[in-house]
Chains A and B, each alone.
Chain A
Amino acid sequence: MYSEALQHLKPGDWLTLLLGGIFVVLLTLKLWSGDLADKAIIRSGGKIFKEVALSRDQQIEVPGPLGTTIISIQNRKARIASDPSPRQYCVRQGWLQQAGEIALCLPNQVSVELAGSSRRKYDSLNY
């Protein structure tokens, strides 16, 4: 069936298919690459506790009402390594990689957000 379909493709058609394929790949790479994150903004009790660059691997301990939350930065990614919350939602969220991603530990009032170089004006828009 495929060989029968292929006989309808002329040489120029193959060129068009190739150009189309390259175009789709370029669009995907350009538009789906996501913003690269530069730094992690750590907040405690609603106020900014520390802004850390992602360039260096490190561990940061953040004190809160329930105990200490440990935030781990590795390979330009950040995650909440441990947290004294009952359901561990923020720990289960895993690695944050792109700008704008955020993990919240509500019981201990700690959050870590990745920020990139471009200023984001809106968190979301509704129509």
Chain B
Amino acid sequence: MTTSTIKLNTTAEDHHIARMAAVALGLTILESAIPSPLPGVKPGLANIVTLIVLARYGWRAAAWVSLLRVLAGSLMFGNFLAPGFFLSLSGAVCSLVVLAFAQHLPSSWFGSVSHSIYAAFAHITGQMLVVYLWLIPHAGIAYLIPIFATAALVFGTVNGLIAARFMEETPTPSIPQLDKLPDNIPR
């Protein structure tokens, strides 16, 4: 009987997205060392990677990087399918939806800071919806919204500035098949 091998053919694009997701994951681990005054108030450093990938490689790549980071991060921290995972996921999905629209803003007027702020507000909106509809269906959580909104504005701005600065300093690495791939290419 011949042994069968299952070989997954990976492209350079797959490797690149995996590398970006790994960087985002590393930032997530780094961030877990920073104490937070309130559960849910985080700098969101891994979103810097999402912003850079969005600007350089398009929304599809950014979506892959973001969702891979949420999934792999939850497996690594041991809270896959726990409430924290669903909060991360809802935040990521909502911010990706908003970024799908925000990326079409004229880039001479709007930079990474705008993308970051819109995505940050979408993120906390998604999370508050999950909290209200599932975890804590009490109107009292409305008292937390101003805190999260302020954190979203502040950290969204900081992350956007870091992403903009990084992109200015580091030129886009030339990945053969990946330069700004249009969305209609089948994967």
Measured CB to CB, the nearest residue on chain B to A124 is B140
How many B residues touch the partner, as a band? 20 to 34
Shortest Cβ gap from A30 to chain B (Å):
9
Query: Cα distance A78–B109 when bound, in Å?
Result: 54
Interface residue ranges, A against B (CB under 8 Å): 5, 8-13, 15-17, 20-21, 23-24, 27-28, 31-32, 125, 127
Out of B110, B145, B146, B168, name the residue touching A13 (CB < 8 Å).
B110
Q: Are B114 and A125 in contact (CB under 8 A)?
A: no
The total number of A-B Cβ pairs within 8 Å is 68
CB pair B145–A17 under 8 Å, yes or no, is no
B interface list, Cβ under 8 A from A: 105-106, 108-114, 117-118, 121, 135-136, 138, 140, 142-143, 145-146, 149-150, 152-153, 156-157, 160-161, 164-165, 168
Majority DSSP secondary structure for residues of B touching A: helix
Contacts A24-B149, A127-B135 known; list 7 others, CB within 8 Å. Answer: A11-B109, A20-B152, A20-B153, A21-B153, A24-B153, A27-B149, A32-B146
Q: Which of A9, A28, A127 contacts B113 (CB 8 A)?
A: A9
